[in-house]
Amino acid sequence: MRPERHFLLASLALFLCLWLSLPACAEGGALREGASFEGGTAYRTADDIYRVLNLSGSWREMGRQYGALAKDALQQFYREITSDVEARGIDLPQQLDAAKGLAAAMSGDLNALLAGMAETSGLSLDEVLLLNCGMVNLADVLLGPLPPSACSGIAAWGEFTPDGRLTFGRNWDIDRAGMLKYMQYLSVVVFNPDEGNAFANVHPLGNVYLETGINEKGLFLELNNGGYSDPMCYEERENAVSVLVSALNRCDTIDEAAAFLAEIPADMSYIIQLADSARCVSVERPTFGCRVREGDPRGLLVAYNSFVPPYPDEWTGKVAAPRDPKKDARYDNLVNLAHSEPFFGKLDPDGMMRLLDVRYQDGGAVHPGTVMQVVAMPEELCLWIRGFEYSDWQKVELGELFGLEKGA
């Protein structure tokens, strides 16, 4: 065979391999409608993989809808995860103590939601609380006392995307080996409360606190553990994952949400990314203060589990230096990938999905802790979700679930 023909065939084979490996950013992705209950409706994603619940009314009414629409799955998930945690050394009374502690640190709205779930799910209130805390209890037994080298996020806009509009990619990281089997319960739950903004929460079913979400105004947020930078804990303060529900419900813009978060003392250290269609900031929230970190003005912000220097002068002696990149290179890896030829200027949702496929050993951020991933396009009120190594990407368009007209 002539060398040039061999080269052409090899090039074609490489192209086909790359093309076939591209993640599906389906133009369709219409949800499949299922049962309804007291004004709430259950859906499934287009490939019938994940549940999407659309709830409305008071917090207790939304809880009743939640419990009835996901009754069988909630009961099954409860049995599986409490038994799993017990088999790993935390008995049910200990699990319940932690569950009641988490509920006590959450808002009255979320506790009303949990109470409503107990009315219709076939689970008692204690069992609902246990399920709400199930992934937390499992994480505690899987990870132990050390702060996790966990979640990461990357926002691209401006020069880093084809049309300047913002795309966000998020890794939710704890322990894939221990949690992969629970990705069957991954869900998007949409809340349309009587007051404030409608918003969506991406989480396993029954976990009503929020770590990844977006509201009807196109404000997206995600939370990363910041315990490595500041390990202090104040149990008497409202839990940050409850505060984030209020932030999406009450705030319309990045600046409003950043100011809202700055006014509430943190129970633990977290790094919270706030994004809209054109900008992203990182709210670094130790237990003694708060600051807003802007990204690259050309259109890039990366966050992981350490605050990013330079620090404010008043933080001297209170915040640990970032991890040695030789031990945790995820921040540098994501920055480098975003600037690389395959991704610079190409980070639309498809490009972001390809970037999120890159494993740590290959210069990315995916590692054995990566459990779930989300890509968001706030301007379109659109999410793509997947349990890593569990499913392909599933598209969830939220505008109509928020009660908005198409194109509004």
The mean pLDDT value for 160-184 works out to: 97
Q: What is the pTM of this model?
A: 0.91
> pLDDT confidence of 3, banded at 50, 70, 90?
very low
Q: Strands 370-377 and 167-173, how do they pair?
A: antiparallel
29-33, 83-87, 198-202, 337-341: least confident range: 29-33
The mean pLDDT value for 217-230 works out to: 96
Domain with CATH 3.60.60.10 in the chain: 146-193+204-397
Q: Please state, for a pLDDT cut of 70, what percent of the chain lies above it.
A: 90
How confident is the model at residue 56, as a pLDDT?
98
The mean pLDDT value for 328-334 works out to: 96
pLDDT tens digit string along 46-94?
Answer: 999 999 999 999 999 999 999 999 999 999 999 999 999 999 999 999 9
Q: What's the mean pLDDT when you consider all of the chain?
A: 92
State residue 180 phi and psi, 5-degree precision. -55, -40
How confident is the model at residue 149, as a pLDDT?
60
The mean pLDDT value for 263-286 works out to: 97
How confident is the model at residue 406, as a pLDDT?
52
pLDDT tens digit string along 113-159?
Answer: 999 999 999 999 999 999 999 999 999 999 875 555 679 999 999 99
Residue that is written with structure tokens 């943190």 in the block: 266
How confident is the model at residue 22, as a pLDDT?
42
**CATH, domain range 146-193+204-397:** 3.60.60.10
The mean pLDDT value for 268-280 works out to: 97
How confident is the model at residue 28, as a pLDDT?
52
The mean pLDDT value for 263-292 works out to: 97
For residue 330, pLDDT over 60 is answered with yes
How confident is the model at residue 158, as a pLDDT?
98
